[in-house]
Structure 1
Amino acid sequence: MVVAADAFFFTYLAMTALSLPYLDADYLSAHAAGSDEPVWAIFLVTLGAVVVAVVSLFLMINDTRWSAPLQAVLALAAVPLGWFAIHMMAAIHYAHEYWQPEDGEKGGKRGAAPRGGLEFPATPRPRGSDFVYFAYVVGMTAQTSDVAITRQSMRTFNLAHAVVSFFFNTVLVAAAVNLAVSLGS
């Protein structure tokens, strides 16, 4: 289970990171209508990441069979890989949601006004890295920073993202404390 989760998270992150330089405003505008992960899929992966992280840490702490170094590394790697994957999926969803044509037309007409929903300072046409920045700030702090949310659908997704981030981060802190206590005794 841990190896499969690590492989999925790593592959998703690598493929997304390799495509990130090409996700400029023109590309996102032209392709916004296609291939967005549905919100239920994002939360399913999030739930999976939380389960893998918690189970991996629990097994490593409490099961003597997990004492092999490779198994410990794989278990520990699942935690940050899952965390990064959750927020990268959210970033891609924010980009798709932002760049959907305002008129609801599918097909991504070049020059069509986007739905928007986020206002990035001094950035009238945000690119992929802007959405990654926004998603990871929410992931780290469970709040927004300098980006204003201006659309209800974006606010709804952001609220869910912030709540999930808060609880995921809380579980990680609790697991880290548990690990430190168990290693110290």
Structure 2
Amino acid sequence: MTAPAWHARVALRGVIALIIGAVVALATLGGIGIAAALLAGWGTAAAVAAGWMLLVVWPMDAAQTRSHATSEDPGRRVSRLIALLGSVASIAAVVIVLTETRAAQGGLSFVLAGIALVSVAASWLVIQTTYVLRLADEYYAGPVGGIQFAEDPAYTDFVYVSFGVGLTYQVADTNLTTNRMRRIVIGQSLLGYLFGAVILGTVINLLAGL
């Protein structure tokens, strides 16, 4: 595979996910307000992008993983930046929506609460999947390595490492062997901790408001 297939291009997946998110935001704008609609749109876009990416890379074996990770795709860096900035910005929208939840009446309060919780979870998910690609890119950049695998890794191995870091803020049984890879994982751990704290805080806030 010398170039990613159309469905495997990160930038194209991101654009389609953002379009779907924009449709959701516009469709819900009149009923839930600007902040909640934007948050619903972002949560949808993040979930679509993350789910699509996992569907694309999950079946790949070690050879396909290497080919995909080393192929030229100019949209990867931009898509990665948009995913990270959008996820962090969504935290501000979550705070606004939680404030609106307390003032909402009837079923609307539960709708707003659900949007806040699902969107921040979707943001966490898109960060972990973004780091799956980043770890694979770094592993095959220059001298192959940076993570000590027992065999040639497939994308599922990078999913294992990325989600392990996102959930536990540490590497389990795959040692990091380069400074560059350790710095990447430190950044991911901090983001994982931030969103883990936001998810926990959101749940506590919602339970307190019941």
Q: Which of 177, 180, 190 is 1:163 aligned to? A: 190
Question: Shift in Å at residue 25 of structure 1?
Answer: 1.4
Q: Which amino acid aligns with 2:152?
A: R
- Are residues 1:20 and 2:49 paired? no
Give 1:3's aligned residue. Answer: 40
Question: Shift in Å at residue 17 of structure 1?
Answer: 2.1
Contact 2:46 / 2:122 at 8 angstroms: preserved in 1?
Answer: yes
Question: Shift in Å at residue 14 of structure 1?
Answer: 2.3
Partner deviation per Cα, 1:98-134 (whole Å, 9 max, x = no partner)? 12342xxxxxxxxxxxx210012xx320101110110
Contact 1:28 / 1:99 at 8 angstroms: preserved in 2?
Answer: no
Give 1:110's aligned residue. Answer: none
Q: Which of 129, 145, 151 is 1:116 aligned to? A: 145
Q: Which has the higher helix share?
A: 2
Q: Identity rate of aligned residues, in percent?
A: 23
Give 1:88's aligned residue. Answer: 129
Q: Which amino acid aligns with 1:75?
A: A
Deviant stretches of 4+, over 6 Å: none
Give 1:37's aligned residue. Answer: 76
Question: Shift in Å at residue 173 of structure 1?
Answer: 1.7
How many correspondences in the alignment? 168
Give 2:117's aligned residue. Answer: 76
Q: 1:72 to 1:167 in 2, by over 3 A?
A: closer
Contact 2:131 / 2:162 at 8 angstroms: preserved in 1?
Answer: yes
Q: C-alpha distance in 1, partners of 2:91/2:134?
A: 23
Q: Which amino acid aligns with 1:84?
A: L
Identify unmatched segments of 5+ residues in structure 1.
103-114
Contact 2:117 / 2:203 at 8 angstroms: preserved in 1?
Answer: no
Q: C-alpha distance in 1, partners of 2:176/2:186?
A: 11
Identify unmatched segments of 5+ residues in structure 2.
1-37
Give 1:106's aligned residue. Answer: none
What is the TM-score with the length of structure 1 in the denominator? 0.78
Partner deviation per Cα, 1:48-107 (whole Å, 9 max, x = no partner)? 2243245235414334179425544333321211111110110111112112342xxxxx
Q: C-alpha distance in 1, partners of 2:115/2:137?
A: 32
Q: CA RMSD in A?
A: 2.4
- Are residues 1:172 and 2:210 paired? no
